[in-house]
Homo-oligomer: A and B are copies of this chain.
Amino acid sequence: MSQQRSTPDPALTTLVGLAAYTELAAFGLLAARSVDAPDLAARQTLATAAGESLDRQQRLLGLTATGAGGAAAAMAPFDGVLADFDARTVPSGWAEGLLKSVVGLGVAQDLCRELAAGLPAGATAFVAAVGEPRRDDPATAVLAAAAAADGVLAARLALWGRRVVGEALGLVPVLLAAHPPLAALAARAREVADEGGASAQAWLVSRLTAEHTRRMDRLGLAA
């Protein structure tokens, strides 16, 4: 019983549900950018990236052992949570759509990794399922190449990246308020990190913002 004291079992279930739902959403965004990719190589690369989101999703869902029929049940509490985000970030064209998927999935994965640090058993199994941030992410490489070839596009994407990350970070307080197990994980993760001062929510957003800056650096875009 003692290992259930600081965080209840539902914390892992809830976190897996959030992570699995956002990987499914990323699958949809990446697949759509595969369909309208400018050439066959990019189409293949983004299809593969979309498939990797599904693979991560399956590993994540395996953590809570909910069985074949349990995937939808695990994600159900988050169904529709991205509707406002999507409505506020309708991309103009393929590159903006791809940046939305890279930034949106990146923030979601970072959020889940940070929250996992608050799990009673630690983040190891969760992070093994979702993976570390990849320096050689294929979608990032495709987008970086497009931006490097077109300065006007790069400037537009830099602005767009700020818009998307702002909307994504705006979801953090919404998620924590609606899902108390996630708020408990955030509080515990901040304790573990021992970085003092700020509220758990402010601490989380500052961590996500810092990681977003590194992401935009990898894309060759101004954060």
Residues of B within 8 A of A48 (CB): 54
Q: How many copies does the complex hold?
A: 2
Residue of B28, B40, B79 touching A79 (CB-CB under 8 A): B40
A27 to B33, CA, bound (A): 12
Q: Are A28 and B34 in contact (CB under 8 A)?
A: yes
Please tell me if A117 contacts chain B, counting CB pairs below 8 Å.
Answer: no
Instruction: From B34, B47, B75, give the contact of A44 (CB < 8 A).
Output: B75
Residue of B nearest to A39 (CB): B72
- Residue in contact with A54 in the complex, picked from B32, B40, B47, CB distance below 8 Å: B47
Instruction: Flag whether A62 is at the interface (Cβ < 8 A).
Output: no
- A154 CB to nearest B CB, Å: 25
A76 (CB) vs chain B CBs: closest residue: B40
7 more contacts with CB within 8 A, not counting A28-B31, A28-B47, A44-B75, are A24-B44, A27-B31, A27-B47, A27-B50, A31-B35, A31-B50, A44-B72
Q: What are the 4 tightest A-B residue pairs by CB atom distance, in nearest-first order? A: A31-B31, A28-B35, A41-B72, A51-B54
